[in-house]
Structures are given as structure tokens and as C-alpha cells.
Amino acid sequence: MIDFELTPEEEASIQAAHKEAEETLRPIARYYDEHEHESPQELINRMWEAQGESMLGLGVAAALRIEETCWGDAGLMLCSPSSSLGGAAILMTGTQEQQQRFLKKFGEGDPKWGAMAMTESGCGSDTAAISATAVQDGDEWVLNGEKIFVTGGKRAVDDSDGLVVVWATVDKSAGRAGMKSFVVEAGTPGMRVEKVEKKLGIRASDTATIIFDNCRIPYENILGSPEVRKIDKSQTAGFKRAMATFDATRPIIAAMALGVGRAALDFIKETFEEEGIEIRYGLPRHQLSAIERDVMDMEANYKAAKMLMLRAVWMMSQFQPNSLEASMAKAKAGLAVTRIAQKAIELMGPLGYSRKCLLEKWMRDAKINDIFEGTGQINMLIVARRVLDYSREQLK
Ligand SMILES: Cc1cc2nc3c(=O)[nH]c(=O)nc-3n(C[C@H](O)[C@H](O)[C@H](O)COP(=O)(O)OP(=O)(O)OC[C@H]3O[C@@H](n4cnc5c(N)ncnc54)[C@H](O)[C@@H]3O)c2cc1C
């Protein structure tokens, strides 16, 4: 039975996350939006001391804490030092020995970041189009290629003793079966950050292009069991396993999206209240004003996305397969937050469009949730395939 019940301790931790978001993140949100690529060092140290959580094994309470933090600021939340997406990939695809070897350092020493590099200029939604290569040379792999839009890439490679999980093909002719993931630790010769993107939103988060130029890593840094590492053209188990990383990360992106969406919703409701505009719940729809209908639609979308997110996270915490639910939650939340933020600006008029308040920033921050970790279209495609029982080839 699905159970979203929280213990009093969990409730308290969510309230504490909200307080931190309100008192620490909100006041500096505009500054780091306007000073892109500047690092919020004090906040980073504070977050590191509080120790970020890994993306896997997260329960309902942890997802709700992430929502609260993103209510404070999503860009700053993404600066939080942790193994992040890289860690999720290692936990999903690595052996126990690899998990221990690569993730131990995220619990000690100075702040560190993990990142995951899959996207290339010719490979985004079509994950099988990867052109970065990994060639075995004795007891090493030699990586070559360029990865773009790597979240936390600079912090993982240049600013800390972090790591990057890199996707590369060991045999192009093998298609998906040739795709494997590799761990490249910071400081490895041949890996360098080429540039950091200037972005529309989540500007506090660094998004890097990383070059792998004859980058040599130990053979043992290929993720997975010997079975997964095998290059067998009829075997896509490794690829499927790696794709399962998204089952863990998509519900978390949904939680992030909800934080931004609720920030916008709370803002307009508070402003209406101050202006004496009442939202009259319970009236028949035809008796409502246009503003009331809009606010209720926004709330309904927020709540629907939240229920989907909670279900996907809860299933993940119970180690139940959740690919369908994770994609549903991500698709709905990505769409809901972009619509909520846009509508909020519309309802506020010029105030919403100005930089006096954070609405315009939230609209810019919202959109990324509909892009990374699979775009809205791709997640809807996954949902359609699963619901209709179509294969990848049958429904493209
Ligand atoms: C700020 C930011 C951070 C990112 N962080 C990371 C990261 O950490 N690691 C990483 O590897 N990548 C990251 N990405 C990349 C992101 O995952 C990709 O941008 C995303 O997967 C889409 O790929 P694409 O940009 O190549 O778009 P494309 O795949 O070229 O898609 C373009 C458009 O076509 C649509 N489309 C494509 N195929 C279909 C289809 N079959 N049916 C219907 N519509 C379709 C898409 O939905 C999209 O709207 C990041 C991107 C951004 C902007």
C-alpha cells in the first residue's frame, strides 16, 4: 500500500529545510542569478557540513526537503556539493566495490561534486547516438570525445576532488550494446573543462563542456559487473541498467520543479491576499472570476504533479520498478511548473515581468525541468510506450 505518512522527525526536517530556504537561499537568489559563475562559497560550505543526500534511496521526506530547498532557489540547490547525478549512476550501475571506492570521498574532507556526462552535440534525446569513444589499451581505457551541458561539471573537475561519470561507446557498430559508462576522477590528465555555459535560468548552477583527449583511466573504472561490461552485440543489459539511473533522478527533478512552481504560486496568493482579492474555493466554476479559475487551475496542476512525484519517489524508496511513474512525474511536473510560472507573471502584469520580484526568475528557472533528464516529449514518449506496450522501434 502506498504510504506518504511522515514521522514527526521528518515533518520537522521539512520545516527546517523551508526555514533554511527562506532565510538563507531566498535572500541571495537574485545576486547569484545576476552574478552567473560566481560561487556561493559560504552556502556551499554550509551545505557540505549538512551533507547532501545521494539521489538514490531517497524517500518521500527527502524529496519534500528538495522541494522546499528549490522553493528557496533551484539554482543554488544545484550548487549543493554531493555525488549528484554521477553518484546516482554509480549506485545504479556500479558494483558494491565501485560504489565504495568512488563514493567514499563524498563523506569526507572538502566539498566535492559528482557529475554525469552523456550529452554531446549530436546526442541528446537519442542517447544511442553517442560518439565519444573508449578504447581498451592494456589495463587502461583511453577516452576521447566532447561532452556538453554537464551540470556541476566545472565544480566536479576543476573546483574539487570530484568525479564525472562519462558515457562512451566501446564499439560503435554494436549500437546500444556498445555503450558503457566510466568514472573519471578529477585531476586525471586528458580531462579538461572547455567552457561554462551562460544560461537562461538556474544560473548559479555551472553547466560545462568537458573534453576528453586521450584521457587514460584504470580498466576497473568501467562501471558494472563483468556481465554488464561485456561487449556482446545482442546484449543491451548494460545500457538498460544505465538508463535506469533516470528512474532515480527523474522523480527528484520533479520535486525540484515543484519547489519552483510553489514559489510562484505562494507569491501570487500572498499578493492577492494583501490586495484583498479572495480565492473563493467551493463555488461552481461558472461563478468564479477568471483570476480564481486561473489560480485553481495552477493549484490543480501543482497537486497532480506532486502526487505523481510522491508515488514515483515512494516506489523508488521501496525498490519497486518505477520507470513509468518516474517519467510520468517528470513530464507532468516539468510542464506544470513552466505553465504555473508563466501564468503567475501574466496574473501579476508588469510587476511579474519586472525584476522587482523573483517571478521572472522563476519562469526562467522553471523551463530547465522540462529539458534535462529527458525532455517533456521524451518522457511522454516513454510513458506512451509503457502504457501501450510498444517497443522503442514501434513508437519513436
Ligand atoms: C542547463 C542544462 C543542464 C544539463 N545537464 C546535463 C547533464 O548534467 N548531463 C547530461 O548528459 N546532459 C545534460 N543536459 C542536456 C540535456 O539532457 C539535453 O539537452 C536533453 O536531453 C535534450 O537533448 P538535446 O538538447 O540534444 O535536444 P534534442 O534531442 O535535439 O531535442 C530537441 C527537441 O526535439 C524533441 N524531440 C527529440 N526527439 C523526439 C522524439 N522522438 N519525439 C518527440 N520530440 C522529440 C525534444 O523533446 C526537444 O524538444 C543539460 C542541459 C541543460 C540545458
**For position 235, what pLDDT does the model report?**
66
Q: Is the CB of 146 under 6 A from ligand 1?
A: no
pTM for this prediction: 0.95
Cα(212)–Cα(232) distance, integer angstroms: 25
Measured CA to CA, the distance from residue 209 to residue 198 in angstroms comes to 12
* 20 assigned to active site: no
Mutate-to-test residue for ligand 1 from 77, 83, 125, highest number of ligand atoms within 8 A of CB: 125
Determine the number of helices (DSSP H) and then strands (DSSP E) in the chain.
16, 7
Does 196 contact ligand 1 (Cβ within 6 A)?
A: no
Cβ contact 156:162 at 8 Å: yes
Q: Left (φ > 0), alpha (ψ -120 to 50) or beta: where does 34 sit?
A: alpha
- Position 233 scores a pLDDT of 65
Distance from Cα 375 to the centre of ligand 1, integer Å: 6
Q: What pLDDT score does 127 carry?
A: 85
Predicted confidence at residue 53, as pLDDT, reads 56
Q: Which three cell numbers stand for residue 110?
A: 572538502
Minimum-distance ligand 1 atom for the alpha carbon of 381: 42
Give the Å distance between the CA of 393 and the centre of ligand 1: 20
Report pLDDT for 102: 98
Ligand 1 atom 12, closest CA: 119
- Angle CA(138)–CA(83)–CA(263) in degrees, nearest 5? 150
Please list, in sequence order, all residues whose beta carbon lies within 8 angstroms of the beta carbon of residue 118, skipping any fewer than 6 positions away. Answer: 127, 130, 147, 167
Q: Which pLDDT belongs to residue 1? A: 77
| Strand pairing class (207-218; 140-151) | antiparallel
Of 36, 97, 373, 393, which is the active-site residue? 373
Alpha-carbon distance of 318 to 336, in angstroms, equals 26
Ligand 1 contacts CB of residue 136 (under 6 A): no
User: Residues in the chain with pLDDT < 50?
Assistant: none
> In this structure, are residues 202 and 139 in contact, taking their beta carbons and an 8 Å threshold?
no
Mention every residue, 6+ apart, whose C-beta is less than 8 A from residue 167.
Answer: 116, 117, 118, 127, 130, 132, 179, 180, 181, 182, 242
How far apart, in Å, are the Cα atoms of 144 and each of 157, 161, 163, 213? 16, 21, 17, 5
How many CA atoms are closer than 13 Å to the CA of 394, on its beta-carbon side?
8
How far is the centre of ligand 1, averaged over its atoms, from the C-alpha of 147 (Å)?
Answer: 13
Question: What's the pLDDT score for residue 56?
Answer: 52
* Long-range Cβ contacts of 380-389 (<8 Å, 24+ apart): 380/327, 380/331, 382/323, 382/324, 382/327, 383/324, 383/327, 383/328, 383/331, 386/323, 386/324, 386/327, 387/324
SS3 135: strand
Say how far apart CA 352 and CA 357 lie, in whole Å: 7
Phi, psi of 134 (to 5 degrees): -130, 120
Distance 42 CA to ligand 1 centre (A): 32
Instruction: Say what angle helices 245-274 and 290-317 make with each other, to 10 degrees.
Output: 150
Q: Which of 375, 380, 385 to mutate to test the pocket of ligand 1 (most atoms within 8 A of CB)?
A: 375
- Supply φ then ψ for residue 89, to 5 degrees: -65, -40
One-letter amino acid for residue 87 of the chain: G
Give the residue among 179, 188, 201 at the shortest CA–CA distance from 264: 201
